[in-house]
Structure 1
Amino acid sequence: MILGCVADDFTGASDAASFLQAGGANVILSNGIPEREDEDILEAQAVVIALKTRTCPPGEAVDRSMAAFSWLKAHGARMLYFKYCSTFDSTENGNIGPVLDAALERWDIPYTLLCPALLENGRSVKDGKLYVNGVLLEDSPMKDHPLNPMRDSRLKYLMERQSRYPCFNLGAGELERGFRPYEKPGHYYLIPDYYEEKHGRMIAKQYGNLPLLSGGSGLLRMIARTWEPDEERSVLTPSRCAAPVILAGSCSEATRTQIRYYESKGGASLRIHPLRFVQGIQTMEHIRAFLEENKDQAALVYTSAPPDEVNRIKAEWRESYPPLEHYNEELLAGTAAYALESGRKRIIAAGGETSGAVMQKLEMHTFHIGRSIAPGVPVMYPAEQEGMELILKSGNFGQEDFFIRAARDI
């Protein structure tokens, strides 16, 4: 194993795995720390472990992340990578800083990079500031994220509110000249410019062998390209069994746009209203009947809603009800389980928390990585369920026609 990657949610892990695969690596994704020493895992060039820690308290995130890193090192990983969101997605109470601080300290590593850039999806870093499709992060739709609203674009500022160590911006000019590590006591972080493809190549060349790196998935493809390609990695093909089921829990603007586009083209859909559901007005029987009525075509079930409606639902949500976010996740995860029981082995999920809940419910742990439907969104094949295909996407990923494209190509 050359690289061991720990991702803070499942769609982040599949994103990372897809870019490693695109770079030519033989990669395996594990949902959580592997419980057994699977031969496929031990023979892979890269292993990605998916955790569900993005919104965890820092202490819990550190413990779980360090356990995953330690497992990877114990099984031969020469370098570690901490994968987080390409929009950083972490406020002053977040855990990116604490996790990386702990890793630097545990293995006595002087410094590492903060490199969230992912040009394929419009995320770039210039002068230490993070941009989304050319707009500062603080002015993008991420400013209204329901869990982690991003109100600042300066990565140095975002990180230093979480970390015990200083951050330094690394401009494109310094990157081109070649950076010499600071000869200073203590740990620190570098934030390289990455707004052109050549910057990724330079970062991979200069820093690709550091014992610890961190960031989005874009850098992983560049790193994998520096390795010897694995000529024996298998080519996976679609099974075309039963019509796909699409589950959307993300409230991101991208996912809501994809839902509107899918519905405008006549796609079968059922919106779940959590207040109606908890009051018994909507039930699982409604979902089952909808899936049965649309058993021969793709069917979308979603809880996604715009920010103002989410706020209204939260205001009306009683303390006696289950936590809203978990309630929605469990509804969609239960729908996935019913779909599988009904013989529908092709499932598409939108949203990191939704995807993580679906995987927990289906009890699937090890995945081979296939072709990508969109940048960072691969088709995955669970080792535990023959013939099954999964597409799990981050809420912000994918084109306007993503659901139609995914339903057609899976």
Structure 2
Amino acid sequence: MLGVIADDVTGASDVALSLREGGLRTVLYFGVPGPDVTPPDGCGAVVIALKSRMAAPERAVASSLEALRRLRAHGARRVYFKFCSTFDSTADGNLGPVLDALADALDVPVVLLTPSSPRHGRTQYEGHLFVNGVPLAESPMRHHPVTPMTDSSLPRLLRAQTQRPVGLLRWDTVRAGAAAVRAAVDEAATRGVRYLLADALDDGDLRTLGSVAADAPLTAGAAGLAEGLAPAVPAGGGAAAYEEADPSAVHPAAVLCGSCSARTLEQLDALRAADRPTYRLDPVAEPDPAVLAERALAWYDALPTGSSRGAPAFHSSVPPHELRAIQRHLGAERAAAVLEEATGRVAAGLVARGVRRVIAAGGETSGAVVAALGVTGALVGRAAAPGVPWIHPTSGPRIALLLKSGNFGGPDFLATASGPPQDPSPHGRRQGARP
């Protein structure tokens, strides 16, 4: 069985979809499952979603090692560490420490890794990461308000986070085929290289890398390499099928938006342009998360019933300069904590009022939503967009969840995913309603 440790919730749903589409029966857990939780029979992959991407290195290492122990107890003999396809971690980030801890625990001499994910527009060439054909440091990620990326060189970024030797597997070797890649990995081991960053420009390159990594105890990367790896993993069960009525027909629906990425802000503008009801969660105006959530839910209850305007959106997403002002006023950690708690409370309140389709934008927002709703496990459904599957919790209210990375989806994604118009039933009075 393949065990996956993902450093955030949206990344976990992304890689779970890749494994599902790669032919593995896949189960997704939010947080490390307890010892009494057993994956379904015939399961080829188990994905554990952590909230370690923005955590301090020591906390990220501790949670990742806990996930590793649980995966090994479930019988996983191959482990995949999933990180973001934009490699967004600063020089004092935690990618290096987590990789060090996992590689040491599994006694792995060489770890093959790449953030390349062509379907998301991420490719690696000559060790540099490109986003839609633009070097990472020249892409919108250079202005990211939390993890600005001002260097496109992956070896340089990783060397800043680990003392272990970092090497480069160039594209001409990858294109030469699996035998050439295996020889390069063996040669790297003789030189003491611990991490081998592999160039990859298309899905064929990722399948080549996946065929080599299939027997490795540890591999790392974005969802692209996982999809290349899946067909080579000798795990049974066939593709995980969870097909039911189109989730877009489940209503009422609501959007919870916390990402401040350029793409999410564009998607939020599209909601406004469509005259969707929107409510801003402003931690400066109200720093008490309970009161902030209570006011947001009161606004929802007062919306006209039977409206044809479509699903409402609750957001804390703001342009970078506004986010910096909020962080100066409250402090970055306090602002994030207030908004995460308030967003979770709003999500729980919406579901209690009968909302059955929840779209969350942003990794931290998605984590707050699943935690507040008590979602611990889910089946992976159909894709709403590349890397963004509908997921269906295995316990609790029957809801459809869409957990979107801030950078994913087209400009109209949130509007499309939260359509069609709402059920004309009075949403504010439908306590405990079922679809």
* 2:213/2:229 contact within 8 Å kept: no
Secondary structure of the structure 1 residue equivalent to 2:75: coil
Partner of 2:45: 46
| Aligned partner of residue 398 in structure 1, secondary structure | coil
Aligned to 2:364: 353
Deviation at 1:263, TM superposition (A): 1.2
8 Å Cα contact 1:7/1:13 also seen in 2: yes
Q: Which residue of 2 aligns with 1:59?
A: 58
Say whether residues 1:370 and 2:381 are aligned partners. Answer: yes
What is the DSSP-based 3-state SS (H/G/I as helix, E as strand, rest coil) of the residue aligned with 1:214?
strand
Bigger drift between 142-151 and 152-161 goes to 142-151
Structure 1 residues 216 and 232, CA, compared in 2 at 3 Å: closer, same or farther?
Answer: closer
Within-5 A mapping of 1:306-317 = 306-317=319-330
Secondary structure of the residue that 1:390 maps to in structure 2? strand
Contact 1:86 1:215 in 2 (8 A): yes
Indicate the percent of aligned positions where both proteins have the same amino acid: 36
Question: Do the aligned partners of residues 283 and 193 (structure 1) sit closer, same or farther apart at CA in structure 2, a change above 3 Å counting?
Answer: closer
Q: Distance in 1 between matches of 2:13 and 2:145?
A: 22
Q: Determine if the alignment matches structure 1 residue 194 to structure 2 residue 194.
A: no
C-alpha distance in 2 between matches for 1:274 and 1:374:
31
Give the conservation status (yes or no) of the 8 Å contact 1:41–1:47: no
8 A Cα contact 1:28 1:46, kept in partner: yes
Q: 1:243·1:295 contact (CA, 8 Å) conserved in 2? A: no
**1:73 CA drift (Å):** 1.3
Q: Letter of the aligned partner of 1:69 in structure 2?
A: L
State the partner residue of 1:139: 138
1:368 deviates by 0.4
The 5 A counterparts of 1:327-346 are 327-346=338-357
Cα-to-partner distance string for 1:79-117 (whole Å, 9 max, x where unaligned): 000001000111111111111111221221111122111
Partner SS for 2:285: helix
- The question of whether the paired residues in 2 share the 8 Å contact of 1:42 and 1:75 is answered with no
Q: CA RMSD in A?
A: 2.2
C-alpha spacing 1:55/1:372, structure 2 compared with 1 (3 Å) = same
Q: CA deviation at 1:206?
A: 2.2
2:75 aligned partner: 76
Offset at residue 200 of structure 1 (A): 1.1
CA contact (8 A) 1:373 1:405 kept: no
Question: By how many angstroms is 1:294 displaced?
Answer: 5.7
Asked if 1:215 corresponds to 2:224, the answer is no
Q: Show the counterpart of 2:429.
A: none
| Residue 363 to residue 386, structure 1, CA distance change in 2 (3 Å) | closer
Aligned to 1:291: 300
d(CA) in 2 for partners of 1:309, 1:143: 17
Q: Report matched runs for 1:236-251 at 5 Å.
A: 236-238=243-245, 240-251=249-260
The aligned amino acid for 2:242 is V
Equivalent position of 1:273 in the other structure: 282
Query: Residues 352 and 232 of structure 1: is their aligned pair in 2 closer, same or farther, counting only changes over 3 Å?
Result: closer
Distance 1:283 1:355 in 2: 18
Structure 1 stretches of 5 or more lacking a match?
A: none
Aligned to 1:94: 93
- TM-score, normalization: structure 2? 0.88
Partner-residue secondary structure (3-state), 2:102: helix
Alpha-carbon distance in structure 1 between the residues aligned to 2:49 and 2:38: 19
Deviations 1:322-348 (A, max 9, x none): 700111111111110100111112111
TM-score by length of structure 1 reads: 0.93
Residues 176-220 of structure 1: CA deviation (Å, up to 9, x unaligned): 331311242645111111112221121112223211000100111
Q: How many residues align?
A: 406
Contact (CA 8 Å) 2:11, 2:405: kept in 1 or not?
yes
